[in-house]
Structures are given as C-alpha cells and as structure tokens.
C-alpha cells in the first residue's frame, strides 16, 4: 500500500509524516486490498483555532473513499479522518460481501 503525503504552503515534519504513515497502515485491518492512501494537509485561516485540515483519500478497487477533517492539530485531524474512513471501509467491505 502506497501512502502519499502532501502539505500545502508548509513543510510537514518527519515526525508528522511518520505518524501519518503509522496510522494509515492500520486501515489495512479493515480492508486488505487498499491500493493507495493520499493525505493532503493544509492550514486554513492561520489566525483561528481549529485551522488544521486533513483531507484523506483511500483508493480501493472500483471505489474511492474520502474524508476531510478540520481540527486544532494535524494529528487530531488525521486521526478523526482515518476513523471516518475505517467506518467507510467496513461499509464498503459489507457491500462487496452482499454481491
């Protein structure tokens, strides 16, 4: 599974990238055949709280799942986004079983 991390208008630290890699790999618990995970990080309105946005796209065969979260920290946004995607992956897996 390939994990691509893109940070817009700032440089993501090694620590943040390692955190995202670790968390993204855990999605394979919910569905084994994940092709790619793309994470786009950006700061929305720098002067406000809750300004860290993480948009996460998960590519599985014949489908693309997406979650976007805005929180105080990138870690929190990524965590919440991946949690939402884990639920989507479970639904996707159930849908495939039903066919």
The reported pLDDT for the residue numbered 99 is 65
- Count of domains in the chain? 1
Q: Which domain holds residue 85?
A: 2-98
* pTM of the complete model beyond 0.85: yes
Give the mean model confidence (pLDDT) for residues 12-30.
96
Chain segment 44-98, per-residue pLDDT in tens:
887 788 999 999 999 999 999 999 999 999 999 999 999 999 999 999 999 988 8
Residue 48 is predicted with a pLDDT of 83
Asked if the model's pLDDT at residue 40 lies above 80, the reply is yes
H helices present in 2-73, as ranges: 14-25
Strand order in the sheet with 63-71: 2-8, 36-43, 52-60, 63-71
Where residue 80 sits, what CATH number does that domain have? 3.30.160.100
């Amino acid at each position: 599974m390939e994990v691509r991390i893109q940070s817009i208008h700032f440089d993501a630290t090694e620590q943040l990238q390692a955190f995202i890699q670790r968390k993204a790999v855990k999605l394979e618990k919910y569905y084994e055949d994940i092709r790619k995970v793309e994470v786009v990080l950006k700061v929305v309105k720098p002067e406000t709280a809750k300004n860290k946005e993480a948009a996460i796209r998960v590519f599985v065969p014949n489908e693309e799942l997406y979650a976007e979260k805005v929180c105080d920290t990138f870690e929190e946004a990524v965590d919440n986004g991946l949690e939402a995607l884990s639920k989507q992956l479970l639904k996707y897996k159930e849908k495939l079983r039903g066919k």
